[in-house]
Structures are given as C-alpha cells and as structure tokens.
Amino acid sequence: MVSVTSSRSGAAATTSAPHTAKDAVSSLVRRLARSPAFTTRQLSTSLQRLSRRRAVAIALALAFCVSRGNEVAGPDLSFTLLYLGPIAFATWFGSMRAGLVLSAASAMASLTSDMGSRKIPLSTAVVAWNVAVQLGVFFALSALLSALKGRLELEQQLARTDPLTLVANRRAFVELAGIELERSRRTGRPLTVAYLDCDDFKIVNDLLGHAQGDALLCKVASTLRGATRAVDSVARRGGDEFGLLLPDTDGPTSEALVQRLRAALGASMKEEGWAASFSIGAATFVTPPRSVDDMLRHADQLMYDAKRSGKDGVRFEVVGLEPALSAGVG
C-alpha cells in the first residue's frame, strides 16, 4: 500500500510542473486577447512578478514547443534562433544557472530531433561541431543577458540610494511611502512618518569643514538605521534632512521610538564632539491619508513647527482621531 501511494504522489509531482507552466502561458495569452489595452509596460510588470520557479517552468514549456516544432520540420530547417527565446526568458526571469541548464537541454533536443529525422546520418565530427556551435551561442546569450541584468539592477539600486550615506534617497522614500500607504489601506494598521532636521548643521560645516559635515550625515544615517527595525525605512531627503517610515506603529509606540532615536542621535553627536541637535516631526496616521503628498506634507509641517519653536524639539500628532491628538516636546 505504501509503495502504491508513493508512486501516485510521485506521478502527480511529475505532471504538476508542465500543467503549471501550460496554465501560466494560457492565462497570459487569454489576458492579452481579452484586453487590447494591455500595454507593454503592464506586461513587463506582470512578468517581473513571476516567481523564479514559474518563470523556469514557462521557459521549459516554450523550449518543449520549439523542440516539437523542430522535430516536425525536419533537419532542413534550423531552429537555433527559436531556442534563444526560451533560454533568454529563463535567464532574465529565472537565473543564469537556469539559462545554462536550458541551453544544454535545448542543444540536446535539437541534436535528437536532427538525428532522428535524417535519412543519411552525419559524421561524428560534424555532429560534435554542430552541438559545440549551438552550445556556444546559447551559453553566450545566457552569460550576456545575466551580466546585463546585473548591471541594470545595480543602476536601479544606485538611482534609489543616497551616494553619501548609502540609505534611500528622496525618490526611493516617496516610492516606499506609496507602498506603505497602500499596505496601511489594506490592513487597517497605523502608519507613522517622521522627518528630522539637523540643527546648526551649517555651523558644523563652516567651522569644521565639509569633510566633518559629511561624516556627521553618515553618522546620523547609521545611527537611525541601527536604532530602527528591519521593516522601517530610513532615507536622506536632501541636505541635512532625513525621513523615517514606521509601518504598524501607533501614537504611543511612535513617541517611544522617536524619543529613543533622539537619545541615540544625541549620544552619537556627543561621542564625536559635534554640537548638533535635531528637530523632529512625527505624524501617526490611524486612518490612511488621501495621498502620499498629504502624508509627507503633514510630517514636514510638524518638523518645521518643532524647528521654529526652538532647537532640539519634537512634535507628535495622531491623525485620524477626532479630535486629532498632538503633543510637543522641547
């Protein structure tokens, strides 16, 4: 009884991957046919969301279709170019390893189709040469695409990273704020946004030099990153201003966290001998705001209120309660 059950489960596991790949391809084709307005950008976004396993399964299904076509067409037609599509798909949306494995499998499938349909067999040397050429082309494509993808990912990361402090830049912060706002709308959980400005940063820059000013900014970034959770986001908005995104953080929790950050920043400034303090504004949204701009504008206003009321000040506000709760700490 045990052996029968195992064999059936093994057969189910063997047949599930092709069905999954076939269903994914069919779903994509049906979606394209039903929606004429389905743009290239939307298609690209959908493909980027594919898991590696599903992407490789789709590539295998495509390669299988090409090999069947190669077998039906016979040895007189070369299908080398058609094999490049599945290999490129596996490399770009899967991995270089998947592309290389599929390259070898495609070369073997092409060889099998060619030898099976030839009435007069080719010599061993010719067969070896043909396989070597195909493998060379397939491997080269996979390697080049993998290198290109790595370069593009690096460029995208650099475009979202502040080059001095190595935390997120303003552009990335706004994108992350949009993501967290949508998540807050789905889950109903509170979201806190905090802005902070370094008081008298210009004085430190002028008296101690730009190198010390840059070191101060890097210290602020590392202190914020070290004192926040992994789910929190830290960004440099520009100049001496930083931003924090604190998901699933209510009013009392945000106050405790900001006060802890304030103490950590004060200790790090004192340790380095910098006479710098921070003005902080933190807005906790119990109900999601209308837009990212409204959310960030609220935190920005609180920060400037704290700065105008004196150095080293903090302003808190809970938005979405009636009436809104606000507090200030000198």
Q: Is the pLDDT of residue 325 over 70?
A: no
Residue 156 backbone dihedrals phi, psi, to 5 degrees: -65, -40
Q: What is the pTM of this model?
A: 0.64
pLDDT (tens digit per residue) in 205-235 = 888 898 999 999 999 999 999 999 999 999 9
Residue 168 CA to residue 240 CA, distance in Å, equals: 14
Question: Catalytic site residue 250?
Answer: no
6-15 pLDDT per residue, tens: 334 444 444 4
3-class secondary-structure state, position 130: helix
Mean pLDDT, range 90-116, rounded to an integer: 90
Retrieve residue 264's tokens.
């950590």
Q: If you average pLDDT over each of 122-131, 219-228, 310-319, which comes out highest?
A: 219-228
Q: Which pLDDT value is given to residue 39? A: 52
Whether the pLDDT of residue 17 is over 50: the answer is no
Domain 170-329: CATH superfamily is Reverse transcriptase/Diguanylate cyclase domain (3.30.70.270)
118 versus 169: the higher-pLDDT residue is 169
Residue 318 has pLDDT above 80, yes or no: yes
* pLDDT the model gives residue 38: 47
* Residue extent(s) of CATH 3.30.70.270 domains in the chain: 170-329
Question: Can you give the pLDDT at residue 328?
Answer: 54
* Sequence-ordered list of residues with C-beta below 8 angstroms from that of 39, at least 6 positions apart, any chain: none
pLDDT of 43 over the 70 cut: no
Q: Which of 197, 199, 240, 300 is catalytic?
A: 240
